[in-house]
């Protein structure tokens, strides 16, 4: 099918799925047995038509040869869509206002969830491609159309050599073969692997690989084995990354929360002016400050050390300070006044009263700092040159340069680096959303 054919196909499929869910859920809510029976019969009828359709029109010129699967599925969806459309007009003509309101809300919820599921599937395709590619043999990674699941070509030992097994068709049945020689005119000399063991000449167009599902988990261990010896199977860059990330999180949370508390809860001369200047630093591109910061670290003698990667985190950043300041400002003043009456200092108020009240913001800040530090590539590229001080992001780039011609191993290495970030996201996404959407307590 062409582009417009696929558009029509997807449109019909969405209508059938959405309307089917509506009829099914509405029938269960009303406990209407006849609606459920109609729903079942409605699906059986298009299925029968779709199965009989090739026999009815198989001799037509447009369907000459074998009827493609997408046409059968399109026929099934079209008949089902027409049936669902007829049911929506012919059934239940008398509805109360309560039923109309409930059905309208049900229709809205189904459309919303279909859109969300579709978006989730689309955005998960690259991740699925990453995982499946990491489990494929290298010769199957660049095939088009790509394998939906990892596949590997069958092999066997013949004449003291490992040969690939292919499939061709003889006398109306599939036969496994091995290639002996390539001849002129795009033909192969092959040996049949059936009982006859005969030798045949077969056009290469009639031959396809003998594939079977596989999962080459050895790609992950091979990716670690091919790292340089000084990396100790990836433990050295992993430890460097963990150490830098931990220090970045500590520095970001402490410095940003202290400065934000000062801007939000303390009164001192020039506070508002300095806050505006701090916000203005968010408009300065990182490329502008890259060279001056490098010169400062070189003057300190910190080049080829991990200090430039975590030390700036102890000086805060504009966005983090602004986010925490907005949380601090929404905390009622009564809590701070009560703490002052009890004799608490400003630091005690900050530590024991304010920080526990902004846990969602601190959690979001921690997640952002973790992801930014774990995936940081520019910093190690600028400041690190020794292999024993490499972080994972930079080591992955060097691995790509050395093994870029081995896509499966490259995808396995990328998956290993990405796993901690995925784990943190799945277990803390609720806090990330709360930290961005909430604004503290209501006064």
Is residue 111 one of the residues assigned to a domain?
yes
pLDDT of 442 reads 45
Element (H, E) at 175: strand 173-183
User: Looking at the structure, do residues 205 and 233 belong to the same domain, yes or no?
Assistant: no
Is residue 422 one of the residues assigned to a domain?
yes
User: Looking at the structure, do residues 196 and 95 belong to the same domain, yes or no?
Assistant: no
Residues 211 and 153 sit within 8 Å (Cβ to Cβ): yes
The domain boundary residue, chosen from 134, 168, 201: 134
Find where tokens 């209407």 sit. Answer: 32
User: Looking at the structure, do residues 200 and 302 belong to the same domain, yes or no?
Assistant: no
Residues 123 and 115 sit within 8 Å (Cβ to Cβ): no
Long-range Cβ pairs for the range 185-191 (8 Å, 24+): 190/166, 191/158
Element (H, E) at 155: strand 155-158
Is residue 142 one of the residues assigned to a domain?
no
User: Looking at the structure, do residues 13 and 108 belong to the same domain, yes or no?
Assistant: yes
Is residue 408 one of the residues assigned to a domain?
yes
User: Looking at the structure, do residues 279 and 372 belong to the same domain, yes or no?
Assistant: yes
Is residue 146 one of the residues assigned to a domain?
no
| Domain CATH number, residue 389 | 1.10.3720.10
Tokens of 156: 């066997």
User: Looking at the structure, do residues 280 and 176 belong to the same domain, yes or no?
Assistant: no
Is residue 148 one of the residues assigned to a domain?
no
User: Looking at the structure, do residues 168 and 108 belong to the same domain, yes or no?
Assistant: no
Is residue 320 one of the residues assigned to a domain?
yes
User: Looking at the structure, do residues 162 and 38 belong to the same domain, yes or no?
Assistant: no
pLDDT of 301 reads 92
pLDDT of 48 reads 73
User: Looking at the structure, do residues 357 and 247 belong to the same domain, yes or no?
Assistant: yes
- The answer, as to whether pTM is greater than 0.75, is no
User: Looking at the structure, do residues 170 and 47 belong to the same domain, yes or no?
Assistant: no
Neighbours of 226 (CB within 10 A): 14
Q: Structural domain tally of the chain?
A: 3
Reported as a single tens digit per residue, the pLDDT across 337-370 is: 888 888 888 889 999 888 888 888 888 888 889 9
Digitized pLDDT (tens) for each residue of the chain, 443 residues in all:
566 777 787 888 888 888 888 878 877 777 777 767 767 777 777 777 766 665 555 444 444 344 456 667 777 777 777 777 776 666 555 667 787 888 889 889 999 999 999 998 998 998 999 999 999 988 888 887 788 889 888 888 877 788 888 888 877 788 888 888 888 778 888 888 877 778 888 888 888 888 889 888 988 888 888 888 888 888 899 999 999 999 999 999 999 999 999 999 888 899 999 999 999 988 988 888 899 999 999 999 999 999 999 999 999 889 999 989 988 888 888 888 888 888 888 889 999 888 888 888 888 888 889 989 998 999 999 999 888 888 998 888 888 887 777 888 888 888 988 888 888 877 777 766 665 565 444 44
| Domain CATH number, residue 160 | 2.30.30.40
User: For 170, which DSSP code?
Assistant: E
Is residue 147 one of the residues assigned to a domain?
no
Reported as a single tens digit per residue, the pLDDT across 104-118 is: 898 899 999 999 999
The domain boundary residue, chosen from 101, 134, 167: 134
The domain boundary residue, chosen from 134, 169, 186: 134
User: Looking at the structure, do residues 95 and 36 belong to the same domain, yes or no?
Assistant: yes
**Dist CA 356 CA 408 (whole Å):** 46
**Dist CA 41 CA 24 (whole Å):** 13
Range of the domain at 267: 226-437
User: Looking at the structure, do residues 99 and 187 belong to the same domain, yes or no?
Assistant: no
């Amino acid at each position: 099918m062409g582009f417009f054919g696929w558009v029509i196909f997807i449109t019909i499929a969405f209508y059938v799925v959405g309307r089917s869910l509506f009829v099914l859920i509405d029938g269960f809510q009303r406990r209407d047995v006849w609606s459920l029976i109609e729903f079942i019969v409605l699906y059986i009828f298009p299925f029968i038509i779709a199965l009989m359709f090739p026999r009815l029109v198989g001799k037509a010129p447009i369907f000459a040869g074998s009827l493609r699967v997408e046409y059968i599925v399109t026929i099934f969806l079209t008949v089902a869509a027409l049936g669902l459309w007829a049911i929506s007009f012919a059934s239940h003509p008398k509805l109360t206002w309560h039923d109309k309101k409930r059905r309208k809300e049900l229709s809205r919820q189904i459309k919303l969830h279909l859109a969300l599921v579709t978006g989730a599937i689309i955005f998960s395709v690259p991740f699925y491609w990453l995982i499946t590619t990491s489990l494929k043999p290298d010769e199957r990674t660049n095939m088009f159309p790509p394998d939906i699941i990892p596949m590997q070509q069958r092999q066997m030992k013949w004449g003291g050599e490992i040969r690939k097994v292919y499939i061709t068709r003889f006398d109306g049945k599939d036969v496994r073969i091995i290639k002996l020689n390539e001849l002129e005119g795009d033909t192969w000399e092959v040996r049949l692997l059936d009982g006859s063991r005969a030798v045949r000449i077969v056009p290469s167009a009639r031959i396809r690989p003998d594939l079977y599902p596989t999962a080459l988990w050895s790609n992950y261990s091979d990716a670690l084995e091919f790292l340089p010896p000084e990396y100790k199977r990836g433990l050295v860059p992993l430890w460097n990354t963990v150490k830098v990330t931990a220090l970045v999180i500590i520095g970001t949370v402490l410095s940003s929360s202290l400065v934000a508390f000062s801007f939000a809860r303390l009164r001192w001369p020039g506070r508002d002016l300095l806050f505006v200047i701090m916000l203005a630093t968010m408009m300065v591109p990182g490329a502008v400050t890259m060279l001056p910061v490098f010169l400062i670290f070189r003057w300190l003698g910190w080049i080829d050390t991990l200090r430039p990667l975590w030390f700036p985190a102890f000086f805060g950043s504009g966005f983090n300070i602004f986010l925490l300041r907005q949380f601090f400002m929404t905390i009622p003043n009564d809590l701070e006044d009560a703490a002052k009456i009890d004799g608490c200092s400003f630091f005690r108020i900050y530590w024991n009263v304010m920080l526990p009240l902004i846990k969602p913001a601190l959690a979001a800040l921690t997640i952002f700092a973790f992801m930014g530090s774990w995936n940081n590539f520019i910093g190690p590229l600028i400041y690190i040159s020794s292999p024993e001080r490499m972080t994972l992001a930079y080591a992955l780039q060097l691995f790509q340069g050395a093994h870029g011609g081995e896509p499966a191993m490259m995808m396995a290495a990328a998956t290993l680096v990405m796993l901690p970030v995925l784990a943190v996201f799945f277990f803390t996404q609720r806090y990330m959303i709360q930290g961005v959407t909430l604004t503290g307590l209501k006064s």
